[in-house]
C-alpha cells in the first residue's frame, strides 16, 4: 500500500515539476529579463523610484499631446544619449544597430534606406503605410517590445512620461521642417465632435483607423 502510494505521489510530483519547468522556460516569464541579444540591451532604470511597479496595470495613459505641451527638447537631447548607442540623429547619418533617425516624425515606419528591419516592425508598418505619428512614437518608446511584439529594438523603454515627452520633443527637432505637435485639446482621431448647428458643410468621413495588431 505504502509503496503504491509513493509511486503515485512520485508521478504526481514529476508532473508538477515538468509543468512548472515549462512555465518557467516560457517566454512570458522570461521576456522582461532574458532578451535574445543581451549585449544590446540598455536598461532605462535610473532616477526616481516613486513610480509604480512595472507589473501593475498601467494607469490610464496621458495623451502625448498633453505631455508635449510641457516638454523640453533640450532635456530630450540628453535623454537621447541612451539611444545614441544604436541610432544616429543627424541628417544623412549612418545606420548603426538601429536605423538613422533624422526626420523620424511622420516618416513611414520601417522604411529607412539601407536598414534591414525585423519582420515584426515591417508588418506593423503595413508596408510603409503607417507613419511614426507622435502617438506611435509615444507608445513605442514606452515599451518597444510591448507595442511591437518581436521588434529587434533592444531598448527596455522609458516609462517616465515627462522624460519620454522631452525625448519626443527632441526627435521633433530632427528635421528641416519639424512637424507640429498635436493640439492638446484635439479630439482623438476618428471622433469628430458635432460642430455647431450647421450640418450643411460636408465633413469627409475619416477612414476607419484599425487599432494596430498586437
Ligand atoms: C540597443 C540598440 C537600440 C537602442 C538603445 C535604441 N534603439 Fe531604436 N531601434 C533599434 C533597432 C535594432 C531598430 C529596428 C527595429 C526592428 O527592425 O524591429 C530600432 C528602431 C527604432 C525606430 C523605428 C525606426 C524606423 O525607421 O521605423 C525608432 C523610432 C527608434 N528605434 C527610436 C529609438 C529611440 C528614441 C531610442 C532611445 C530612447 C532608441 N530607439 C534606442 C535599436 C535600438
**Is the CB–ligand 1 distance for residue 206 below 6 Å?**
no
pLDDT reading at 190 higher than 50: no
Residue 140 has pLDDT above 60, yes or no: yes
Confidence tier at 14 by pLDDT (50, 70, 90): confident
pLDDT over 80 (residue 28): no
Q: What is the mean pLDDT of residues 182-195?
A: 60
Cα(12) to ligand 1 centroid in Å equals: 47
Mutate to test the pocket of ligand 1, among 88, 98, 151 (most ligand atoms within 8 A of CB): 98
Q: How far apart are CA 89 and CA 146, in angstroms?
A: 24
Share of the chain above pLDDT 70, in %: 64
pLDDT digits (tens, 9 = 90+) for 71-111: 999 999 999 999 999 999 999 999 999 999 999 999 999 99
User: Which residue has the CA at smallest separation from atom 7 of ligand 1?
Assistant: 153
How far apart CA 1 and CA 213 sit, in angstroms, is 56
What are the b/e assignments for 11-38, b being 16+ CB within 10 Å?
A: eeeeeeeeeeeeeeeeeeeeeeeeeeee
**Does residue 67 register a pLDDT over 70?**
yes
**What's the pLDDT score for residue 10?**
77
Say how many Å lie between the CA of residue 18 and the centre of ligand 1. 37
Distance of alpha carbon 184 from alpha carbon 186, whole angstroms:
6
Output 86 or 43, whichever has higher pLDDT.
Answer: 86
84 vs 33: which has the higher pLDDT = 84
The response to whether residue 104 sits with its C-beta less than 6 Å from ligand 1 reads yes
Is the beta carbon of 64 within 6 A of some atom in ligand 1? no
- Cα(60) to ligand 1 centroid in Å equals 25
Q: In this predicted structure, what is the pLDDT of residue 160?
A: 98
Q: Is the pLDDT of residue 171 over 70?
A: yes
Amino acid at each position: 500500500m505504502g509503496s503504491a502510494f509513493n509511486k503515485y505521489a512520485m508521478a504526481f510530483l514529476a508532473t508538477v515539476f515538468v509543468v512548472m519547468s515549462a512555465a518557467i522556460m516560457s517566454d512570458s516569464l522570461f521576456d522582461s529579463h532574458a532578451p535574445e541579444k543581451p549585449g544590446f540591451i540598455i536598461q532605462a532604470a535610473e532616477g526616481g523610484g516613486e513610480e509604480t511597479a512595472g507589473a501593475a496595470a498601467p494607469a490610464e495613459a496621458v495623451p502625448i499631446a498633453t505631455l508635449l505641451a510641457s516638454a523640453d527638447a533640450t532635456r530630450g537631447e540628453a535623454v537621447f544619449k541612451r539611444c545614441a548607442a544604436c541610432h544616429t540623429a543627424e541628417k544623412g547619418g549612418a545606420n548603426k544597430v538601429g536605423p538613422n533617425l533624422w526626420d523620424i516624425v511622420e516618416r513611414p515606419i520601417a522604411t529607412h534606406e539601407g536598414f534591414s528591419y525585423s519582420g515584426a516592425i515591417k508588418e506593423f508598418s503595413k508596408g510603409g503605410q503607417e507613419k511614426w505619428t507622435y502617438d506611435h512614437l509615444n507608445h513605442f518608446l514606452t515599451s518597444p517590445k510591448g507595442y511591437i511584439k518581436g521588434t529587434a529594438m533592444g531598448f527596455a523603454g522609458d516609462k517616465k512620461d515627462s522624460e519620454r515627452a522631452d525625448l519626443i520633443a527632441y526627435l521633433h527637432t530632427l528635421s528641416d521642417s519639424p512637424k507640429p505637435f498635436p493640439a492638446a485639446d484635439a479630439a482623438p482621431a476618428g471622433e469628430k465632435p458635432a460642430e455647431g448647428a450647421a450640418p450643411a458643410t460636408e465633413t469627409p468621413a475619416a477612414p476607419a483607423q484599425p487599432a494596430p495588431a498586437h
